[in-house]
């Protein structure tokens, strides 16, 4: 009986502590992540980061859920536009990677004023770049769709969707960069709440503007673009409010507003590797979509829905990876490289367990998840092939994404870029064409090339990580 009470009270204390840590993680904390127990630091950082990434993935899922009611052509247009707008994601995430490395290092060195200066310069850089992308989207959207292999009539009918999405790319850029500032400083809960704001408005506005509910006009696919852009825009306004008035680790109040080109140079140097990583990855996705377009709109629609489901699951895994990157940067700034390495291994194991379980569900019954979005039997069949094939590599990719963020957090953004060149340009693209077209495997060949290239990326990243040179980076 005494033994029973001992274990009962021990479990009770564990769950009470877990509940307390969970509440602290979601509410936000001022703790120093370079001094507390590593597992607790990972927990406190990763929970809001995972929830943040879930919120980001909700954007994609909500849009497809409603747009799928407009038919396969509309779904295919969303997929093609996402492929085009990946350039914005690439630059935003790349700038976020450079920002993360510098801000986390300055926080680890206990120099919050310098971390705020880095954030200010990163925002200016992002706004400057987004202006030029917006001009290209506003004036050349239809031409871009034609290059991607879309029929001229469909391109003319739906060009308004990419025009709005690319024309308002500044809100996407700011979401990535400013959330990277908050996240790498340790205010991950704030980044999470910002995505909540964006999603609440998107979920409300999407059906209203697409189908014309209540006083809203029925705008179809155009309405989906407006809803998403407005939702993100309101979240960006909240970001700027918190940067200036919020009492967080990073504040722009009281900083010197003059430009320091030394900070710009560091940001550009570190972000160049991050942007290169994403441009290589995303350009390979664009080329893969171009290959898939040869097999018809049904295949593209199935691929688009399957990919949204995959992203919904992978983004929380990226949240865990971001926690590892933040801890690497802060611990290297605090001159604790062994602690930084331990953070990576623990996070990697957790990520593998999570994605391994999800992969099992997707492999056993992919059709169930596809049918949540569309009932068209041909699209469901096409989506099942994509979802099942790519899921086989989840457990490997779970470790690989953590390794990549560890490199980025240390300030070594060029090593992942070189790995991406090998895996996505040298292996994935030629292999996709060879398997799909030359060997006649059609879309299955493209999905197999994705599986092989992602697994290769993990193996190479693990080998380089073990060598340990990333611990010596100075930023």
- Better-scored residue on pLDDT, 79 or 232: 232
Q: What pLDDT sits at residue 256?
A: 80
Residues making up the chain, counted from first to last:
475
What would the pLDDT profile of 430-443 be if each residue is shown by its tens digit? 999 999 999 989 89
Q: What pLDDT sits at residue 89?
A: 83
In the chain, % of residues over pLDDT 90: 46
Each as own residue / partner, the long-range contacts of residues 44-49 (CB below 8 Å, 24 or more positions apart, any chain) are 45/186, 45/188, 45/323, 45/326, 45/327, 46/319, 46/320, 46/323, 46/347, 46/350, 47/22, 48/188, 48/189, 48/191, 48/192, 49/183, 49/188, 49/191, 49/192, 49/319, 49/320, 49/322, 49/323
Neighbour tally for 201: CB within 10 Å: 18
Q: What pLDDT sits at residue 8?
A: 64
pTM of the model: 0.82
- The encoded tokens of residue 279 equal 């441009």
Average pLDDT, stretch 9-23? Answer: 77
What would the pLDDT profile of 170-207 be if each residue is shown by its tens digit? 999 999 999 999 999 988 888 889 988 888 898 899 99
Is the pLDDT at 11 greater than 80? The verdict is no
- The encoded tokens of residue 359 equal 């992969």
Is the pLDDT at 70 greater than 90? The verdict is no
Is the pLDDT at 6 greater than 80? The verdict is no
Q: Round to whole Å and give the CA distance between 165 and 80.
A: 12
Q: Round to whole Å and give the CA distance between 325 and 103.
A: 11
- Better-scored residue on pLDDT, 59 or 456: 456
Q: What pLDDT sits at residue 416?
A: 93
Average pLDDT, stretch 370-396? Answer: 91
Q: Round to whole Å and give the CA distance between 236 and 425.
A: 34
- Better-scored residue on pLDDT, 285 or 165: 165
Residue 367: exposed, middle, or buried by beta-carbon count in 10 A (0-12, 13-18, 19+)?
A: middle
| Average of per-residue pLDDT values in the chain | 88
What would the pLDDT profile of 305-328 be if each residue is shown by its tens digit? 898 888 878 878 888 898 999 999
Q: Which of 286, 282, 278 is nearest to 144 (CA)?
A: 286
Q: What pLDDT sits at residue 307?
A: 87
Q: Answer yes or no: are the C-beta atoms of 364 and 139 closer than 8 Å.
A: no
Note the helical H segments in 159-251: 160-167, 169-185, 188-211, 221-245
Average pLDDT, stretch 71-84? Answer: 80
Q: What pLDDT sits at residue 129?
A: 92
- Under the banding of pLDDT at 50, 70 and 90, the label for residue 156 is confident
Task: Describe the chain by its helix, strand, coil percentages, rounded to 5.
Answer: 85, 0, 15
């Amino acid at each position: 009986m005494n033994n029973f009470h001992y274990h009962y009270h021990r479990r009770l204390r564990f769950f009470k502590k877990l509940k307390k840590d969970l509440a602290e993680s979601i509410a936000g904390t001022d703790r120093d992540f370079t001094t507390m127990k590593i597992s607790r630091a990972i927990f406190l950082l990763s929970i809001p980061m995972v929830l943040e990434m879930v919120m980001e993935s909700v954007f994609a899922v909500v849009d497809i859920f409603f747009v799928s009611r407009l038919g396969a052509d509309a779904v295919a247009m969303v997929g093609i536009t996402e492929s085009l707008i990946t350039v914005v994601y690439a630059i935003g995430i790349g700038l976020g990677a450079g920002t993360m490395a510098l801000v986390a290092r300055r926080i680890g060195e206990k120099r919050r004023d310098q971390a705020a200066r880095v954030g200010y310069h990163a925002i200016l850089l992002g706004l400057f770049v987004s202006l030029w992308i917006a001009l290209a989207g506003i004036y050349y959207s239809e031409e871009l769709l034609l290059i991607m292999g879309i029929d001229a009539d469909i391109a003319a009918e739906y060009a308004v969707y990419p025009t709005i999405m690319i024309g308002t790319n500044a809100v996407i850029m700011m979401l990535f960069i400013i959330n990277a500032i908050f996240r790498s400083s340790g205010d991950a809960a704030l980044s999470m709440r910002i995505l909540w704001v964006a999603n609440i408005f998107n979920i409300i506005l999407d059906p209203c503007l697409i189908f014309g509910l209540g006083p809203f006009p029925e705008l179809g696919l155009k309405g989906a673009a407006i809803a998403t852009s407005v939702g993100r825009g309101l979240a960006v306004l909240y970001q700027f409010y918190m940067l200036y008035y919020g009492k967080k680790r990073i504040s722009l109040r009281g900083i010197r507003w003059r430009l320091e080109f030394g900070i710009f140079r560091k940001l550009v140097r570190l972000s160049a590797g991050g942007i290169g990583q994403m441009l290589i990855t995303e350009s390979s996705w664009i080329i893969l979509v171009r290959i898939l377009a040869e097999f018809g709109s049904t295949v593209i629609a199935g691929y688009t829905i399957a990919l949204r489901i995959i992203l919904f699951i992978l983004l929380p895994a990226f949240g865990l990876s971001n926690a590892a990157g933040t801890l690497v940067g802060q611990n290297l700034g605090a001159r604790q490289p062994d602690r930084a390495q331990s953070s990576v291994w623990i996070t990697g194991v957790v990520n593998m367990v999570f994605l391994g379980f999800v992969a099992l569900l997707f492999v056993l019954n992919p059709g169930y998840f596809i049918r949540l979005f569309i009932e068209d039997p041909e699209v469901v069949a096409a989506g099942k092939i994509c979802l099942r094939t790519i899921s086989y590599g989840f457990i490997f990719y779970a470790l690989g994404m953590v390794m990549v963020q560890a490199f980025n957090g240390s300030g070594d953004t060029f090593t992942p870029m070189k790995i991406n060149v090998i895996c996505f340009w040298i292996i994935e693209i030629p292999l996709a064409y060879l398997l799909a077209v030359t060997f006649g495997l059609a879309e299955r060949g493209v999905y197999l090339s994705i599986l092989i290239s992602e697994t290769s990326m993990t193996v190479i990243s693990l080998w380089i990580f073990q060598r340990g040179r990333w611990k010596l980076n100075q930023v």
